[in-house]
Amino acid sequence: MFKTNDYFDGKVKSITFETIEGPATVGVMAAGEYEFGTSSVEYMTVISGEMDVKLPGESGWKTFLPFETFIVPANVKFGVRMKGDTAYRCLYR
Amino acid sequence: MFKTNDYFDGKVKSITFETIEGPATVGVMAAGEYEFGTSSVEYMTVISGEMDVKLPGESGWKTFLPFETFIVPANVKFGVRMKGDTAYRCLYR
């Protein structure tokens, strides 16, 4: 029914679902540092834990807490890192 | 790495993870009506969509929107229903 997605040897796992405005995922990332590429604009919201984010063109990391959102442009790479399990919601637009 | 859980023939799917204060899940429910039982106190937060909730001892349904939370006591049954995919976070305490 719902598709699950695994990345980085299962250290990142998500479930795909639909919203009124388009596709979305909820997922969890284990402690680590990861680089993702976007194919559409992504609205990323932290749901639990704490996520450091490095957006393209920025030199530093910025920390996001639960229910804070950052926006990633389409067709770029961005970095995230966390010290423990961190849950997120991602809206693809 | 992360365990996934399926309920109601896959109409409800979640991923288990850890928080500083204890275990948690993020998950998605498809359109429908479901009854769950608790074995600990559950802090349920809607993450996407809209969830109607009937808590034990209450006669009516109450609607919860994204980032709104309801608390379910341990060792009870409670009902939820939704008209489309609805994502949630659950903290077990």
Measured in angstroms, the CA of B11 and the nearest CA of chain A are apart by 6
Measured in angstroms, the CA of A10 and the nearest CA of chain B are apart by 6
ipTM score assigned to the predicted complex = 0.95
Q: Which of A10, A24, A87 sits opposite B1 (nearest CB)?
A: A10
Q: Which of A30, A84, A89 sits opposite B47 (nearest CB)?
A: A89
Interchain contact, A28 vs B27, CB within 8 Å? no
Indicate if the pLDDT at residue B1 is higher than 90: no
What is the number of structural domains in chain A? 1
| Sheet with A62-64, edge to edge strand ranges | A32-37, A77-82, A51-54, A62-64
Q: Using alpha carbons only, how large is chain A's radius of gyration in Å? A: 12
Boundaries of domain holding A26: 4-92
A7-54 pLDDT per residue, tens = 999 999 999 999 998 999 999 999 999 999 999 999 999 999 999 999
B20-29 pLDDT per residue, tens = 989 999 999 9
Q: Which of A1, A30, A48 sits opposite B1 (nearest CB)?
A: A30
Domain CATH for A85: 2.60.120.10
Which residues, other chains included, contact B51 with Cβ-Cβ below 8 Å and sequence gap of 6+?
B29, B44, B63, B64, B80, B81, B82, B86, B88
Indicate if the pLDDT at residue A1 is higher than 90: no
What is residue B41's DSSP assignment?
-
